[in-house]
Amino acid sequence: MVASDWIKTITTLITPVDDMNPPSARGYASGTLWGYGYMWWIWDDHNRVGPLQGAYTGIGAVGQYITVLPALDLVIAHKTVPGGSRGVTGSQYHTALMQVINARCARACP
């Protein structure tokens, strides 16, 4: 079991999206506002309310992601075939992530 204090530490925002370099990594155009913690990307919307509040994600090779959405009590794992010809871009994953969130929030959302 992983200690809750350790999870809080590694999912705390260390590098805000406004400090990401190069500036193209800041993701404003695609709407992806992920800053960085310790090996996790941390949702860094300055409003910090709604379904992405407290969210963090791990990003792997060729479009593999795991995103934790505490506000929705939801974990999303996105798996691809390493070495396959169909990788998934960050923008594509963000679109799919928002579709899942919107579907979940159609029933009830914080």
16-49 residue pLDDT tens: 888 877 776 666 545 567 888 998 989 887 666 7
Is the predicted pLDDT of residue 75 greater than 90, yes or no?
yes
- Give residue 26's pLDDT: 65
Note the pTM of the prediction, 2 decimals: 0.82
- Give residue 14's pLDDT: 92
Do 78 and 66 meet the contact criterion of CB atoms below 8 Å apart? yes
**Average pLDDT for residues 77-86, to the nearest whole number?**
79
Matching residue, tokens 């990003």 = 59
Run of H or E residues at 41: strand 41-43
